[in-house]
Amino acid sequence: MKEGWAIWITGLPASGKSTLARTVKERLERLGVHVQILESDVVRKVLTPNPTYSPEERETFYNSLVYIGVLLTQNGVNVIFDATANRRRWRRAARGLIDRFLQVYIRCPLEVCRGRDKKGIYKKAEAGEAQYVPGLQEEYEEPWDADLEIDCVRESPEKAAEKIIEIMKENGFI
């Protein structure tokens, strides 16, 4: 059985990760390539039903998310990680364990993320109702090793998806 591949889409909360993940999935499926999105918001509801987002909880969550991704790819499933993963070590762990791996970083100014924040994450943090928000109370460690960087202000999700598909072709993923 051929192993699957993984793409990790990272960036601040509300930077457009989920939109880009869905756009890439739609494009790939039109090409006959099946993919499973591991959306952190969905997986978190299973692993930590009442999340605190504490550093300790994030450590457990992201280690588990990487493990799930490894299991899927080892069994021939292609994966898109849709997850902030504000620490480089979690993204590096996935890269080290998954042979065919790409990291896509959505560079998005905090002000733009705040404006897009449908979940109210930033407002809750500013009101003292949420803590540990990457970009505010928690550092977001920008990737040093991204295979592709997307400018959320200048590039549409469609244009970004085209770039991802192109780099996937160049690397023999599809």
User: Residue ranges per domain, the chain?
Assistant: 6-170
**For the segment 48-62, what is each residue's pLDDT rounded down to a tens digit?**
999 888 999 999 999
pLDDT, position 45: 93
**For the segment 2-28, what is each residue's pLDDT rounded down to a tens digit?**
899 999 999 999 999 999 999 999 999
3 state SS of 102: strand
pLDDT, position 10: 99
Q: Work out the average pLDDT over 151-164.
A: 97
- Specify which residues 103 forms β-bridges with: 8
Res 33 pLDDT > 90: yes
pLDDT, position 157: 98
**Spatial CA neighbour of 70 closest among 92, 100, 47, 94:** 94
Residues in the chain: 174
**For the segment 57-93, what is each residue's pLDDT rounded down to a tens digit?**
999 999 999 999 999 999 999 999 999 999 999 999 9
Query: From CA 123, how far away is CA 125, in angstroms rounded?
Result: 5
Tokens in use for 60?
């457990």
Is 0.85 surpassed by the pTM of this model? yes
Q: Work out the average pLDDT over 86-115.
A: 97
Q: How far is residue 169 CA from its own chain's centroid?
A: 20
Q: How far is residue 44 CA from its own chain's centroid?
A: 13
Instruction: Please report, in angstroms and rounded to a whole number, the separation of the first and last CA atoms in the chain.
Output: 16
Quote the percentage of the chain above a pLDDT of 70. Answer: 100
Res 1 pLDDT > 90: no
**For the segment 112-145, what is each residue's pLDDT rounded down to a tens digit?**
999 999 998 899 888 888 888 898 889 999 999 9
pLDDT, position 34: 98
pLDDT, position 90: 97
Query: From CA 25, how far away is CA 78, in angstroms rounded?
Result: 10
Residue 101 and residue 27 in contact, taking contact as beta carbons nearer than 8 Å = no
* CA distances from residue 25 to 1, 43, 79, 98, 137 in whole angstroms, order as listed: 22, 18, 10, 19, 32
Cβ atoms < 10 Å from Cβ of 97? 15
CATH code of domain 6-170: 3.40.50.300
